[in-house]
A and B are shown apart, each in its own frame.
Chain A
Amino acid sequence: MSLRHILQSKPEASAFLMLMFLTLVFSLLSPAFMTYGNFQVVLQPIPEIALVAMGVTILMISGEFDLSVGSVFALAPMVMVLAMAAGIPLPISMLAGLIAAAVVGLVNAAITIRLGLPSFIATLGMLFMARSLTIVISGGFPPPFPRDLDLWWIVGKVDLLRVSIFWLLGVGLLLGIWLRKFDFGSWIFATGGNREAARDMGINTNLVKTTAFVLCSVLAGFAGMIQVFRIKAIVPSMGTGLELTAIAAAVIGGAALTGGIGSVVGAVIGALLIAFIENIIILTRIDANWFRFAVGAMIVIAVTINKITRDAAGRGKHKDGNDE
């Protein structure tokens, strides 16, 4: 397969090339970049951002959008911590938090599908509502995080990594296989790629979209829990602005806002790219305010590369488009 072919058929290919390139440039820029200790720092929050980005990516593939993930990132662990404070055991408290996240996803889906509002608007509303709920149920005070919990299984340190990175890999692998190798995954691409065709071919596109909304929300809630476990504290404002980072990671990773295109690997690469940029800015002591500039530039570059390769694919069509 030629490089051009790979760029055209794998949505995450250009992000992957950018990741390789920037890793090289960054290690030349700062000797501290490619070190054990530095990677330990950089990789810490990756599972959290990448899990959210995966959910956003899958939802984008189905043709919808979620701006409320940053708020759900706080709401789900808040429900969990409050439940624990009331003496409920950890697994049930976690389940309660995840159910809260799922309900948010269901409401997003219902507003989008039943009322026919664009998901951008539906979830913008939910961004405020879920954040407000988080603050209200916390009573204005961040509840104490229970000590002496055994959290090794989720955020324990293994060498330079945290166990959470294995959760990321596990969840990512399962979702990747589900998307590419299962019929439902195919339906997600079909629904986002051409909803009318998917519906006329007998796919329940409302069910597909609802599933993607719920999955996106639950992943955001789960990611928020991981962060709370890692930091061992919860503030109601956690995750503010995370929706934009997650969408940036998804788009940099090759997901198309128009639906039908994207990959789980792309979401992880997008999250890594953003984290690397933040890291190199700190390491080289550049003014931290350049971070957003760099992320913004990368979005534009990534989308431009994808557009150019797809347009090139469109032109190739007329060369060998003859019958028989």
Chain B
Amino acid sequence: MMSEPHLSVRGLHKWYGAVHALRDLDLDIPKGQVLGLIGDNGAGKSTFIKILSGVHQQTEGQIHFEGKPARIVTPRDAMNLGIETIYQYTAMVPEMSIARNLFIGREKRKWGVRGFGFLDQRAMAKEALEAIADVGLHLRSAEAPVKDLSGGQLQGVAIARAMHFRSRMLILDEPTNHLSVKETNKVLDYVRQLGAQGITVIFISHNLHHVHEVSDRIVAFAQGSKVADLETADTDVPTMIDLIT
């Protein structure tokens, strides 16, 4: 018996002007699954997750999240649903402190309303340190600008940010690009922990070994279409290479 999927998309299309980047995608993801999404450059992976995170909107098609139709028009809509995204690039402001970056757009206020709120800097600094400690990153202070952090520490902060806001679904788009082996292993650890905590994960990477290692299921895209959908146990890395080339 299959329980209701956490995320369900039907007939999803995306056109960028004349480019048909996503073609009639149907996909169901059960709660707590770690889904590995693979595909060549330009296959439409980022396009799909940008639709889920509210950066772009689908040209056509429906999204259901937790059983309800979801209208995701802005990044805030996605965040309000509990969909957090860790982007291919580092979504941090280099000159701003770790604490400020962790709370960008969702600052804690002492008083006032969003857009005219007096910042609760002490609470943000404290919670930021706790949040990054929760993902196993121990920094002395949350006041240092993030430009002082290494690539792995940055991804740690990004994951801490997603976790802190109690995400229900976490999307990681090539989170290990530009990372050292040690830092990469750390990020893979995070992903495994998330799956163990019952958080639904979409994991995108060019490194098929990494995808095979952390995912429960593997979906392959080619030229905007879903071309394969397999249990990880039923496939191996050479087969995956064949799928995307």
**Which A residues form the contact surface with B (CB < 8 A)?**
181-184, 186-187, 189-190, 193-194, 196-203, 260-261, 313-314, 316-317, 320-324
User: Is the CB–CB distance between B106 and A194 below 8 Å?
Assistant: no
B207 within 8 A of A: no
User: Is the CB–CB distance between A317 and B92 below 8 Å?
Assistant: no
Instruction: Give complex CA distance A264, B42 in Å.
Output: 44
8 A–B contacts from the bound complex (CB under 8 Å) = A181-B121, A184-B117, A189-B100, A193-B94, A199-B75, A200-B75, A321-B148, A323-B150
Minimum CB–CB distance for B131 against chain A, Å? 15
Contacts of B92 in A (CB 8 A): 194, 197
Cβ contact of A201, chosen from B104, B115, B119, B148, cutoff 8 A: B104
Q: Specify the main secondary structure of chain A where it touches its partner.
A: helix
Nearest-neighbor residue (CB-CB) of B140 within chain A: A320
Cβ contact of B106, chosen from A202, A321, A323, cutoff 8 A: A202
B114 within 8 A of A: yes
Cβ contact of B95, chosen from A193, A200, A203, A316, cutoff 8 A: A193
Say whether, besides A183-B115, A321-B150, A323-B137, A197 and B75 are in contact (CB < 8 Å). Answer: no
User: Is the CB–CB distance between A324 and B104 below 8 Å?
Assistant: no
Instruction: Give complex CA distance A190, B91 in Å.
Output: 10
Contacts of B53 in A (CB 8 A): 200
Cβ contact of B117, chosen from A182, A199, A317, cutoff 8 A: A182
User: Is the CB–CB distance between A189 and B95 below 8 Å?
Assistant: yes
Minimum CB–CB distance for B183 against chain A, Å? 7
Cβ contact of B93, chosen from A182, A193, A313, cutoff 8 A: A193
B149 within 8 A of A: yes
Contacts of B122 in A (CB 8 A): none
Contacts of B85 in A (CB 8 A): 200
Contacts of A187 in B (CB 8 A): 105
Nearest-neighbor residue (CB-CB) of B180 within chain A: A323
Cβ contact of A202, chosen from B75, B87, B93, B150, cutoff 8 A: B75
Say whether, besides A182-B116, A182-B119, A321-B149, A189 and B138 are in contact (CB < 8 Å). Answer: no
Instruction: Give complex CA distance A198, B100 in Å.
Output: 11
Instruction: Give complex CA distance A184, B114 in Å.
Output: 8
- Tally of contact residues, B, Cβ under 8 A: 42
Say whether, besides A183-B115, A200-B75, A324 and B137 are in contact (CB < 8 Å). Answer: yes
Minimum CB–CB distance for A254 against chain B, Å? 12
Interface code B111-150, partner A: CB below 8 Å = 1, 0 otherwise?
0101111110100000000000000111000000001111
Instruction: Give complex CA distance A148, B157 in Å.
Output: 62
User: Is the CB–CB distance between A196 and B91 below 8 Å?
Assistant: yes
User: Is the CB–CB distance between A181 and B118 below 8 Å?
Assistant: yes
Instruction: Give complex CA distance A201, B75 in Å.
Output: 7
Nearest-neighbor residue (CB-CB) of B113 within chain A: A183
Contacts of B109 in A (CB 8 A): 183
B182 within 8 A of A: yes
Nearest-neighbor residue (CB-CB) of B53 within chain A: A200
User: Is the CB–CB distance between B153 and A321 below 8 Å?
Assistant: yes
User: Is the CB–CB distance between A197 and B183 below 8 Å?
Assistant: no
Apart from A190-B93, A194-B91, A197-B92: 7 A-B pairs, beta carbons within 8 A:
A183-B117, A186-B104, A189-B96, A200-B87, A201-B91, A261-B95, A323-B152
Instruction: Give complex CA distance A320, B144 in Å.
Output: 12
Instruction: Give complex CA distance A203, B115 in Å.
Output: 10
Minimum CB–CB distance for B11 against chain A, Å? 26
Instruction: Give complex CA distance A203, B93 in Å.
Output: 13
Instruction: Give complex CA distance A193, B91 in Å.
Output: 11
Nearest-neighbor residue (CB-CB) of A211 within chain B: B115
Minimum CB–CB distance for A33 against chain B, Å? 36
Instruction: Give complex CA distance A200, B174 in Å.
Output: 16
Interface code B77-105, partner A: CB below 8 Å = 1, 0 otherwise?
00100000101011111111000100011
Contacts of A186 in B (CB 8 A): 96, 100, 104, 107, 119
User: Is the CB–CB distance between A260 and B93 below 8 Å?
Assistant: yes
Say whether, besides A193-B95, A198-B93, A313 and B119 are in contact (CB < 8 Å). Answer: no
Nearest-neighbor residue (CB-CB) of A318 within chain B: B150
B6 within 8 A of A: no
Cβ contact of B104, chosen from A181, A184, A198, A323, cutoff 8 A: A198
B31 within 8 A of A: no
Contacts of A202 in B (CB 8 A): 74-76, 79, 105-106
Contacts of A261 in B (CB 8 A): 95
Say whether, besides A182-B116, A198-B105, A323-B186, A313 and B148 are in contact (CB < 8 Å). Answer: yes
User: Is the CB–CB distance between A184 and B115 below 8 Å?
Assistant: yes
